[in-house]
Amino acid sequence: MKIANRSVLAVAAAGLLLAGTAQAGDPELGRTKAAPCATCHGVDGMGTAPNFPVLAGQYADYLVHVLKQYRSGERENALMAPFVADLSDADIADLAAYYAAMQGLVVPEP
């Protein structure tokens, strides 16, 4: 098999693997599901106090990963645990898509 063909197969296989691991969420559904989040993370996703993380503009894959960690108990947080306990994978994907679509913090270039 030629090297070019191997490269194409490798890229295709990687794409299939990634497609199977990430579920694209619906930001509009996420907006409706995010009402409980606003108390700490703000309606704009920017946090209501310095100790609450900014969610606006975060990578959706990161948010999915973290929310699943909170849900499973792998990542412990007494405030987050009751909010994520009953979230489905689809709920998590929708919330992640919603916050990822928001305008987040701008980090100045050095």
What's the confidence (pLDDT) of residue 5? 47
| DSSP code for 109 | P
What is the mean predicted confidence (pLDDT) over 77-100?
97
pLDDT of res. 2: 52
User: Is the CB of residue 96 less than 8 Å from the CB of residue 25?
Assistant: yes
pTM for the complete prediction?
0.76
Q: Is 74 exposed, middle or buried, given 0-12, 13-18 or 19+ CB atoms closer than 10 A?
A: exposed
Bigger pLDDT: 105 or 51? Answer: 51
Q: Is the pLDDT of residue 1 over 60?
A: no
Q: Which fold has domain 24-101?
A: Cytochrome Bc1 Complex; Chain D, domain 2 (1.10.760)
Q: Which two tokens stand for residue 74?
A: 């792998």
What are the residue ranges spanned by the domains of the chain? Answer: 24-101
Average pLDDT of 88-107?
92
- Measure CA 85 to chain center: 16
